[in-house]
Structure 1
Amino acid sequence: MPRSIAHLPPQVQAPFDVFISGVPQKEGTDYVVEGRDLVFERELRKDKVSGWRWFLGAWGVGTYRQNDSVDIRYTLNGRPMVAEGLEIEPA
């Protein structure tokens, strides 16, 4: 079964909330924390737009692929913060 990892930025400390493409995720069900990594028991992918796909998009031709975004909502020094678009890699 494919797994994916997202690394927590150094400033993020528990407690925090995890979202994939804006959808809240639940620790223990959707992901687990291993050290400074979030481990997901499914394949997550970030779409990389090539020059050719960008060119087609500029002419109104859509090409769609899986494009997951892992975002973290946390508090730093009493201020609410968001870390957006964490890097995703296969586990």
Structure 2
Amino acid sequence: MRITTSTPDGMAVQRVADSAPVDAAEALAAPAPAPLQSAVLQPALQAMREMPEIDQEKVDMLRDALAKGELPFDPAKLAGLIQRFHGSEQ
């Protein structure tokens, strides 16, 4: 198949492709998994896809524990960890 495009200066350029252009949905779809991955990991991957991105129940439980003082919180330690994570150790 020949594909004709134009360059910024208006010149027409032809290219030869071995296959037809892919449909937009096909281009964005994830590549097919390898056979081993398909057989071994597909159940786990499917279970992960079905899980919510955030475990709201756990977030609520931790928030309540913090509010009740049941979960220790050290703001100085948190600040130090944030600084270390961002590479500004002091």
By the TM > 0.5 criterion, same fold?
Answer: no
Question: Which of the pair is proportionally richer in helix?
Answer: 2
TM-score w.r.t. the length of structure 2 is: 0.18
Greater relative contact order: 1 or 2 (C-alpha under 8 angstroms, separation 6 or more)?
1
TM-score w.r.t. the length of structure 1 is: 0.18
